[in-house]
Amino acid sequence: MKKHISIIVAVAENNAIGKGNKLLWHISDDLKRFKRLTTGHPVVMGKKTYESLPVKPLPNRTNVVISDIGGELIKGCEMAYSIEEAIEKCANNEESFIIGGGSVYRQFLPFADKLYITKVHKAFDADTFFPEIDENEWQLIEREDVEPDGKNDFSFSYLTYVRRK
Ligand SMILES: NC(=O)c1ccc[n+]([C@@H]2O[C@H](COP(=O)([O-])OP(=O)(O)OC[C@H]3O[C@@H](n4cnc5c(N)ncnc54)[C@H](OP(=O)(O)O)[C@@H]3O)[C@@H](O)[C@H]2O)c1
């Protein structure tokens, strides 16, 4: 039985990912891609990210919410009270997605096999950041560059990394 743990995140040029428990941009193409990749798979998130979702729980996905507050239950979600418990709740022999936020990404990075990074080519003022990706540990296997979409003044790239053997 193997867990296949993937991180999915949108990161600014300065590694910013959020401010005031909100995202920093609205990229419709990226949100569609997020839905396409994660639907049908377990998604794991910290309590603050869960609270920030416009639609919760995310439909057609098992939502696993991590909280320190023992005994707390959220309707329609599975709860985990530690990273180890959250890993237990990730599916066997199937991809599970870590969807944020900053604290959860940091704690899960050592356990992840794959990273789906949307790199936004602009720096943002933020209070939450993604850790630096060590290219000695992670190998870039796919890159797609996307031009500004008319609503945003920045380009972005879809980067897929796998852990080096
Ligand atoms: N750009 C992106 O792709 C992206 C994606 C997702 C989120 N975000 C942004 O990230 C920000 C939120 O990130 P954040 O770091 O502040 O919060 P977070 O990681 O979403 O949630 C933190 C909470 O998760 C729980 N938690 C975390 N680790 C735990 C552990 N080991 N054991 C038990 N509980 C644990 C705690 O909940 P309790 O307080 O209940 O104990 C903690 O307060 C927002 O701005 C959001 O918009 C960005």
The residue nearest atom 8 of ligand 1, judged by CA position, is 101
Q: Which helix (H) or strand (E) holds 64?
A: strand 63-66
Ligand 1 center from residue 103 Cα (angstroms): 5
Q: How many angstroms does the Cα of residue 65 sit away from the middle of ligand 1?
A: 9
User: With bands split at pLDDT 50, 70 and 90, how would you rate the model's confidence at 151?
Assistant: confident
CB of 102 shorter than 6 A to ligand 1:
yes
Q: CATH number, domain at 107?
A: 3.40.430.10
Residue nearest to atom 5 of ligand 1 (CA): 100
Domain that holds residue 124: 4-163
**3 state SS for 26-40:** CCHHHHHHHHHHHCC
Query: Which of these ranges, 33-37, 71-75, 125-129, has the smallest mean pLDDT?
Result: 71-75
Average pLDDT of the chain is 96
Place 1 in a pLDDT band, splitting at 50, 70 and 90: confident
Instruction: Compute, in angstroms, the gap from residue 64 CA to the centroid of ligand 1.
Output: 12
Averaged pLDDT for residues 30-52: 97
> What pLDDT does residue 87 have?
95
| pLDDT value for 133 | 97
Ligand 1 center to 46 CA (angstroms): 4
pTM of the shown model? 0.98
What percent of the chain shows pLDDT beyond 70?
Answer: 100
3-state SS class at 108: helix
- Percentage, residues of the chain above pLDDT 90: 92
Q: How many domains does the chain have?
A: 1
